């Protein structure tokens, strides 16, 4: 039985440089995923997940609407982005890589997440008996690789939004 994402104790966050100096941060609030963890043979494990693109929030409604629009995430046409692993490893202690295919706006590209296994969590008193394990995954993506466009230059001659996006996934997985 696979491990499932505990959305109440998980987070998908991102940040991108704005005007080369400020960081704009945001989160996706609706997502799901599973981990088929092979504890005897970790490289035989598999991960997959989906994110509801309309759940994107940066804290500024006008910017959120713009990011959900056709030139950016195009949430009406592309309501989900997805990931499916193709390889897990190599492993160095509690750190490892997860290779796979990321699809955003029907564009699929191979990517690699850097993952830290934070270990198994103690049982929560009053909750059903289940195993919980925490992971942190990070990745740097080029938004242009997935058709997420922005005006390249402002009148001042500087880039408004950087091409590189950093994402961090804090995942608590549950196995009933």
With a pLDDT cut of 70, the percent of the chain lying above it is: 87
Q: pLDDT higher for 4 or 25?
A: 4
Radius of gyration of the CA atoms of the chain, in A: 17
Please write the tens of the pLDDT for every residue from 83-120.
999 999 999 999 999 999 999 999 999 999 999 999 99
Mean per-residue pLDDT for 15-35?
Answer: 84
DSSP-assigned letter for residue 130: -
What does the mean pLDDT of the chain come to?
A: 88
Residue numbers of the domain that contains 64: 3-175
**Residue whose token pair is 């504890």:** 39
So what's the pLDDT on residue 21? 63
- The answer to whether the CB of 106 falls within 8 A of the CB of 146 is no
Find out whether 173 and 46 touch, Cβ atoms under 8 Å.
no
Q: Where are the beta strands (DSSP E) in 53-106?
A: 56-57, 80-92, 95-104
- For residue 150, the model assigns a pLDDT of 63
Q: What is the CATH number of the domain that holds 23?
A: 2.40.128.110
Considering the entire predicted model, what is its pTM?
A: 0.87
Nearest to 139 by CA among 107, 101, 94, 92: 101
Number of domains the chain contains? 1
Contacts 24+ apart (CB under 8 A), 4-9: 4/32, 4/33, 4/34, 4/35, 4/173, 4/174, 4/175, 5/31, 5/32, 5/33, 5/34, 5/49, 5/171, 5/172, 5/173, 5/174, 6/132, 6/172, 6/173, 6/174, 7/31, 7/32, 9/172
90: cis peptide before it, omega within 30°?
A: yes
Integer Cα distance of 171 and 137 in angstroms: 8
Question: What number is the average pLDDT over the span 28-42?
Answer: 95
Residue 161: predicted pLDDT: 62
Task: Kindly report, residue by residue over 123-158, the tens digit of the pLDDT.
Answer: 767 776 688 999 999 999 988 888 877 655 444 554
| 142 vs 3, more confident | 3
Q: Picking from 42-51, 55-64, 94-103, 135-144, which range would have the lowest pLDDT averaged per residue?
A: 55-64
Residue 155 confidence (pLDDT) = 45
């Amino acid at each position: 039985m696979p491990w499932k994402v505990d959305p109440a104790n998980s987070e998908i966050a991102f940040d991108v440089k704005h005007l080369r100096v400020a960081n704009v941060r945001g989160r996706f609030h609706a997502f799901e995923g599973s981990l088929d963890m092979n504890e005897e043979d970790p490289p035989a494990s598999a991960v997959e997940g989906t994110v509801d693109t309309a759940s994107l929030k940066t804290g500024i409604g006008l910017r959120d609407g713009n990011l959900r629009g056709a030139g950016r995430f195009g949430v009406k046409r592309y309501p989900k982005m997805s990931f499916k692993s193709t390889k897990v490893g190599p492993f160095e202690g509690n750190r490892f890589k997860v290779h796979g295919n990321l699809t955003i706006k029907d564009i699929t590209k191979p990517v690699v997440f850097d993952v830290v296994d934070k270990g198994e969590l103690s049982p929560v008193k009053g909750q059903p008996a289940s195993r919980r394990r925490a992971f942190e995954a990070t990745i740097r993506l080029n938004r242009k690789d997935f058709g997420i466009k922005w005006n390249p230059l402002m009148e001042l001659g500087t880039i408004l939004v950087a091409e590189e996006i950093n994402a961090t996934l804090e995942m608590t997985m549950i196995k009933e």
